[in-house]
């Protein structure tokens, strides 16, 4: 329907409305009854209510403005997010809105309302375009070249050239080609410093950068931080346009978000959506560590968008896009701009990225239903799953199965909150942990250490212990033998008493709970284990339906496992 048609129908509807309005109430009901075939009742269905707007002189009705907005939106699917804006226009136009039981035909759209709705669309259209025009000149396309290994090259030769042919020597020549990929980045300083993702430039042999104005430069890596997936590269150029960094802490869920990058090598693709969430965690785990503050957006983020900016409606960068969840599924994530700036500035200054840590693996209380029944008397906190060998917490009184509830009097209820509290500390700073242990509340001081570059288990596996004096614990699927001092020294174990696991039956309760061969069991339900007999006695007194708590020493690290009848496999807490 064109604008002229709207005006024509608006005049007809206005005349009809005036005639109806002059009728007495009962007459008006009868008039509507003849039209609709329905008799109004005292209980009017919600679907039959009509919003009666009382317009100011010379203004179209709010309902009319809202109708024209909805009509235009129905023809423009990409404008789906603007419904709220049109609703605001409608409400601002109308001083009073009331529900009336009139069953009059749906009002047509007056010409003035059509023009007003069209103006709103144009204003939003211009605002979106301005975001791109403001930010795009500071966005770069990053082309990466990496050497192919021989196996990949051989496969490509066979696939693209065919099998070797003695009549065609060129087919017999191995010609490995470097692999190429694209990512994005954004300029933060006019002398050529660029922020991007670590995974974009990782192991790159050659980095080329293309600017919006068509110029191309070679780039070098200034520094990178694998744990946050942030890198800084530099090109030799001056007077470059730079982005304006926004405050990611001030970002609100529901606000507009815009992404610029090169998905699938389509340079300077512009997509939009909203900020869908904040503080997303456990998305990127590198060497047992993950940041806990991702922004979530439904703006399309695909391969090639990585490292590019996520912007707000003012064109300020609020995040660095990073591809975590594969091809776009409506789930995009971005590293907050405040974190990118903090890490990026350190890298530009040539300083090492140092972080405090305690050396514990943790999970939110309640995440693992199989052990929930063992925590009677507490319902919130963070469970200590494992204490790493030689870590700061290993030297403290902290134990596996402790529940941390506070860090220096600040309450923590999730593993992300605990990690965030520790990251605010300095290396070498003493912190006081409030822990729940078997119904008692304790204060455990721990001095933070420096987070190592690599957090992994020992790579050299000790030889299997000798098989003499083994005893099978059939109902749990374990085989154990007494740990001697000589054995502990020989296999460089962290303890000198307990029983050592020599075998774990496949699909048994022990296997499901992650117990491994060469684990040393030191306690059962808090009772010390000194030999096979004390271990068996403790098990016989335990209730598998409730859960049997085992304290373990695993190559120097302290951890625990719960053997519970019907319990499933525990989640990966690394």
What is the C-alpha to C-alpha distance for residues 169 and 449, in angstroms, rounded to an integer? 61
Structure tokens at 525: 């339900």
pLDDT for position 93: 45
**Parallel, antiparallel, or unpaired for β 179-187 and 360-364?**
unpaired
Query: Lowest-confidence range among 186-190, 256-260, 314-318, 521-525?
Result: 521-525
Q: What is the CATH number of domain 356-450?
A: 2.30.42.10
Structure tokens at 386: 């494992």
The yes-or-no verdict on residue 460 having pLDDT over 60 is no
Question: Between residues 172 and 45, which one has the greater pLDDT?
Answer: 172
Please give the positions annotated as active site: 199, 229, 306
- The percent of residues in the chain predicted with pLDDT above 70, rounded, is 66
pLDDT for position 371: 77
pTM: 0.61
Q: Which pairs from 496-501 meet CB under 8 Å and 24+ separation?
A: 497/522, 497/528, 497/529, 497/530, 498/522, 498/529, 498/530, 498/535, 498/553, 499/529, 499/531, 499/532, 499/535, 500/465
Q: pLDDT tens, 363-407?
A: 899 888 777 778 888 999 999 989 988 899 999 999 999 999 999
Tell which residue, 330, 214, 231, has the closest CA to residue 271. Answer: 330
Query: Lowest-confidence range among 55-64, 104-113, 172-181, 451-460?
Result: 55-64
Confirm whether 132-148+178-351 and 356-450 share one CATH topology: no
Q: Taking the domains of the chain in order of start, what are their residue ranges?
A: 3-109, 132-148+178-351, 356-450, 471-563
- The percent of residues in the chain predicted with pLDDT above 90, rounded, is 37
Mean pLDDT of the chain: 76
Are 393 and 359 within 8 A, CB to CB? yes
Structure tokens at 244: 């304006």
Q: What is the CATH number of domain 132-148+178-351?
A: 2.40.10.120
pLDDT band at 32 (very low <50, low <70, confident <90, very high): very low
Question: Between residues 291 and 518, which one has the greater pLDDT?
Answer: 518
- In 3-state terms, what secondary structure has residue 295? strand
Q: pLDDT tens, 198-238?
A: 999 999 999 999 999 999 999 999 999 988 999 999 999 99
List CB contacts of 182: < 8 A, sequence separation 6 or more.
141, 142, 143, 144, 262, 265, 304
List CB contacts of 293: < 8 A, sequence separation 6 or more.
278, 279, 280, 281, 336, 339, 420
What is the C-alpha to C-alpha distance for residues 412 and 195, in angstroms, rounded to an integer? 33
Question: Between residues 566 and 235, which one has the greater pLDDT?
Answer: 235
The yes-or-no verdict on residue 20 having pLDDT over 50 is no
Say whether domain 471-563 belongs to CATH 2.30.42.10: yes
pLDDT for position 56: 47
């Amino acid at each position: 329907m064109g604008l002229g048609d709207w005006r024509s129908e608006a005049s007809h509807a206005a005349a009809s409305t005036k005639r109806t309005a002059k009728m007495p109430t009962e007459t008006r009901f009868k008039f509507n009854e003849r039209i609709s075939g329905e008799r109004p009742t005292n209980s009017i269905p919600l679907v039959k209510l009509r919003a009666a707007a009382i317009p100011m002189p010379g203004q179209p009705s709010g309902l009319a403005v809202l109708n024209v907005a909805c009509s235009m939106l129905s023809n423009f699917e990409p404008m789906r997010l603007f419904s709220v804006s049109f609703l605001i226009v409608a409400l601002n136009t109308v001083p009073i809105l009331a529900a009336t039981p009139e069953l009059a035909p749906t009002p047509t759209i007056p010409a003035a309302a059509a023009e007003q709705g069209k103006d709103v669309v144009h204003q939003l259209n211009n605002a979106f375009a301005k975001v791109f025009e403001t930010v795009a000149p500071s966005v770069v396309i990053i082309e990466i070249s990496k050497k192919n290994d021989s196996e990949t090259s051989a496969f490509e030769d066979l696939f693209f050239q065919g099998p070797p042919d003695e009549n065609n020597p060129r087919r017999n020549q191995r010609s490995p080609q470097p692999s190429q990929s694209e990512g994005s980045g954004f300029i933060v300083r006019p002398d050529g410093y660029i922020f991007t993702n670590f995974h974009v430039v990782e192991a790159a042999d050659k980095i080329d950068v293309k600017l919006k104005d068509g110029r191309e430069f070679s780039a070098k890596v200034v520094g990178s931080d694998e744990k946050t997936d942030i890198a800084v590269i530099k090109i030799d150029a001056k007077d470059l346009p730079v982005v304006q960094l926004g405050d990611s802490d001030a970002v609100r869920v529901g606000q507009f978000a815009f992404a610029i990058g090169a998905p699938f090598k389509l340079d300077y693709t512009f997509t939009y959506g909203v900020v869908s969430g904040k503080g997303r965690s456990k998305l990127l785990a590198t060497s047992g560590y993950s940041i806990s503050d991702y922004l979530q957006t439904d703006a399309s983020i695909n391969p090639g968008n990585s490292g590019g900016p996520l912007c707000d409606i003012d064109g300020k960068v609020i995040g660095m896009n990073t591809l975590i969840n594969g091809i776009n599924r409506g789930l995009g994530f971005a590293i907050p701009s405040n974190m990118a700036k903090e890490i990026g500035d350190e890298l530009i200054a040539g300083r090492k990225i140092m972080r405090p840590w305690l050396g514990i693996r943790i999970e939110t209380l309640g995440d693992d239903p199989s052990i929930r029944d063992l925590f009677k008397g507490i319902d919130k906190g963070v469970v200590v799953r494992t204490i790493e060998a030689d870590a700061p917490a290993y030297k403290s009184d902290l134990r596996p199965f402790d529940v941390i509830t506070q860090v220096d009097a600040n309450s923590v209820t999730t593993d992300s909150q605990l990690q965030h509290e520790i990251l605010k500390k300095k290396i070498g700073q003493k912190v006081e942990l409030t822990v729940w242990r078997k119904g008692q509340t304790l204060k455990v001081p721990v001095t933070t250490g420096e987070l190592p570059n690599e957090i992994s288990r020992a790579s050299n596996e000790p030889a299997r212990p000798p098989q003499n004096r083994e005893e099978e614990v059939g109902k749990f699927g374990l085989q154990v033998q007494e740990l001697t001092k000589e054995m502990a020294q020989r296999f460089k174990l962290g303890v000198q008493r307990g029983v050592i696991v020599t075998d774990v039956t496949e699909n048994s309760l022990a296997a499901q709970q992650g117990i491994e061969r060469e684990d040393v069991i030191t306690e059962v339900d808090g009772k010390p284990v000194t030999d096979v007999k004390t271990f068996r006695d403790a098990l016989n007194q335990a209730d598998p339906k409730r859960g049997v708590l085992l304290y373990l020493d695993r190559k120097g690290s302290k951890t625990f496992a719960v053997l519970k009848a019907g319990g499933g496999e525990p989640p990966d807490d690394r």
